[in-house]
Amino acid sequence: MLFAVLSGGDDDEGDRTTTATTATEATTIADAPESLAVASGEPVGGVKRLTYQRGDRVRVEVTVDASVEEIHVHGYEVTEPAAKSPVRLSFPADIDGLFEIEAHLADGADAQIAELRVNP
């Protein structure tokens, strides 16, 4: 068994493939969007705090139910309809400050689901 691991040829290829897969998985995890959820007009688990540095890409995925009409990011004026769940938002963090992310509900109410902080 030890001989097979240390031998050349196919085993070296296997090691490179494993390393490449691990690097790809790490990149995928780092690029994964922030996950939020809204049920019955309320943020599941409470209002989430999201922090980014200026120049980062904000990626948010919001799982919604029928109570939600759209997701809106104040200050950035990014709005996505909630016709299909999850709602995906992606935009550059190019404005410093503190911003609300809201679910605009079918009954006309708004529910804050996240606080977005963009540091300089």
Q: What is the DSSP letter of 99?
A: E
- Against a cut of 0.75, is the pTM above it? no
pLDDT in tens, 60-98: 999 999 999 999 999 999 999 999 999 999 999 999 999
1, 27, 35, 37, 68 from 47: Cα distances, Å: 53, 27, 12, 10, 16
Contact 58, 89 (CB under 8 A): yes
Record the tokens describing residue 86, joined without a space: 């999850």
Q: Provide the CATH number for the domain formed by 34-119 in this structure.
A: 2.60.40.420
